[in-house]
Amino acid sequence: MKLELNSKLPKINILKNRRKFKCNIIINCSKGNTFYIDALEKKDVYKYKRKIEKEALKEAEIKIKNKKSKKSKILSWIFLLINLTVITIILLVQAKDGEVASAGELHVNGWYLLCVFGLFAILMLCDQFSFATLIHKSTKVYRPNLSYKVSAIGRYYDVITPFATGGQPFQIYYLSKYGIKPSEAVSITLGKYIFRQIASIVFFGVALFVNLYITTSASNAGQVTIGVASWAGFIINFILLAIIILICTNKKIGGGLVIGFIKLGYKLKIVKDYKATFRKVMLGVRNWQSTIKSYNKSYFIVPANTLLSILYMISMYSIPYFIFCAFEGWQPAMWSHILTLAVMVDLAACFMPLPGGTGVAELSFVALFSSLFSTGNVFWALIIWRVASYYIYIIQGLLLLLYDAIIGNKRLSKNKEKWSKPKVKIEFTL
């Protein structure tokens, strides 16, 4: 039987009338490592596909509704005030010790500060092009404007939510809002996340191991703590990535891990409804597996997104170096050293449940970078770094939301029918 669908569903083994064959249907239950289901008619395939899409979009909309609630907005303002309070305390402590230079005493090279915001533009372009390639893979159409908006809105909600977990639901919703089917939107955001995580682990590993002496030779307790925290952050991220890769690439081991986690949660009373949780989680697992399988078939998607992710991180972690150059002058030999310190600050701050690693990020920056700057400059370097790595995403996100409220939503209503049309048909056989 030949079907025409606009996106691929996960392929699994089907057992019917004692014959095994392939069918693009999601599982309902499991027995050991083999999944069983009855084959569905053509109309049932379409119904089930639409149901999966509606569930994905509904879940994203629920998360978005929670983020947009009055309570969530109040919490966001509280987190922002906490961040400003931490910076104020650092200012007062350093001012008391005479370690904050006055405006007249500062000698800053504006060209290097321009490079700082140039690096921000580069990393945003990397993010934009990454989304553009994945959107084109799913729809066969390049949409650079949508790619930028999805990237910016994701970064905005990442920096205002604990552990940077708020961006993906908004990206899924935003892609769906602009005519991309929810199943494809989930695959796009998931693929982007996996490529970024793989590149991050490689980049972090190289930075930490090549400059091992920096992370192991500390002069005070604060630096020792940050060094230990950065290695712990790297190990935790490595383990999580290894689990994700196993789940995505190995059906037996990955499926077994997921089932084991669900059973453990059920025994610990964390999981209330075993069947519903199993179905929901395995739906996500199959989505992950089909996404990776689809992207691995492309000779362009994997290397392009990996390289873009690495360039993104080089740009992001080079920002402190150009801030250093703005105050202390051009010193190329310091680039590798400062980049490693920036990685350590980021890994150490990932333990902090507050948005943007509030508190730990600022204190880690001061502890690791104080010895590199002349007396009185480190506080102003901290302010510029925090603007370029945190506040700028908030400003960009707010401007985008304002644009949508005034212009974007009106333009969407005029073009929604055109954007919602299927861009390509994919044929496969049951």
Q: What is the pLDDT of residues 199-246, one digit of tens each?
A: 899 899 888 887 777 666 666 677 777 888 888 888 888 888 888 777
What phi, psi does 124 have (nearest 5°)?
-70, -35
Kindly state the average pLDDT of the residues 139-157. 89
Please check whether residue 303 is in contact with residue 313, taking contact to mean a CB–CB distance below 8 angstroms: no
Whole-Å CA distances, 226 to 157, 196, 212, 341, 347: 26, 24, 14, 10, 9
Please check whether residue 53 is in contact with residue 181, taking contact to mean a CB–CB distance below 8 angstroms: yes
CA-nearest of 207, 209, 178, 175 to 192 is 175
Query: Of residues 96 and 399, which shows the higher confidence score?
Result: 399
CA-nearest of 231, 184, 171 to 204 is 231
Kindly state the average pLDDT of the residues 372-380. 86
Highest-scoring range by mean pLDDT, 16-20, 25-29, 39-43, 153-157: 153-157
Q: How far apart are CA 137 and CA 149, in angstroms?
A: 18
| pLDDT on residue 288 | 66
For the chain, what's the residue count?
Answer: 430
**Per-residue confidence band for 308, with pLDDT thresholds at 50, 70 and 90:** very high
Q: How far apart are CA 388 and CA 381, in angstroms?
A: 11
Could you give the angle at which helices 167-177 and 144-159 cross, rounded to 10 degrees?
Answer: 150
Give residue 62's identity as a one-letter amino acid code.
I
Q: How far apart are CA 372 and CA 61, in angstroms?
A: 46
pTM beyond cutoff 0.85? no
CA-nearest of 105, 157, 93, 49 to 428 is 49
What does the block give as tokens for 139?
């729809």
Cβ-in-10-Å burial (0-12, 13-18, 19+) of 75 comes to middle
What phi, psi does 335 have (nearest 5°)?
-60, -50
CA-nearest of 281, 188, 286, 196 to 241 is 196
Please check whether residue 400 is in contact with residue 158, taking contact to mean a CB–CB distance below 8 angstroms: no
**Per-residue confidence band for 111, with pLDDT thresholds at 50, 70 and 90:** very high
| pLDDT on residue 62 | 62
| pLDDT on residue 94 | 64
Could you give the angle at which helices 221-249 and 182-210 cross, rounded to 10 degrees?
Answer: 140
> What's the number of CA atoms in the CB half-sphere (13 Å) around residue 159?
22
Query: Of residues 145 and 274, which shows the higher confidence score?
Result: 145
Lowest average pLDDT, out of 28-42, 259-273, 354-368, goes to: 28-42
- Under DSSP, is residue 15 helix (H, G, I), strand (E, B) or coil? strand
pLDDT in tens, 168-197: 888 888 888 888 877 788 778 888 888 888
* pLDDT at residue 129 tops 90: yes
Query: Of residues 188 and 320, which shows the higher confidence score?
Result: 320
b/e per residue 39-50 (b: at least 16 CB within 10 A): bbeeeebeeebe
How many Å separate Cα 230 from the centre of its chain?
19
Please check whether residue 365 is in contact with residue 90, taking contact to mean a CB–CB distance below 8 angstroms: no
| pLDDT on residue 121 | 96
Whole-Å CA distances, 364 to 126, 295, 329, 376: 27, 38, 23, 17
Please check whether residue 347 is in contact with residue 333, taking contact to mean a CB–CB distance below 8 angstroms: no
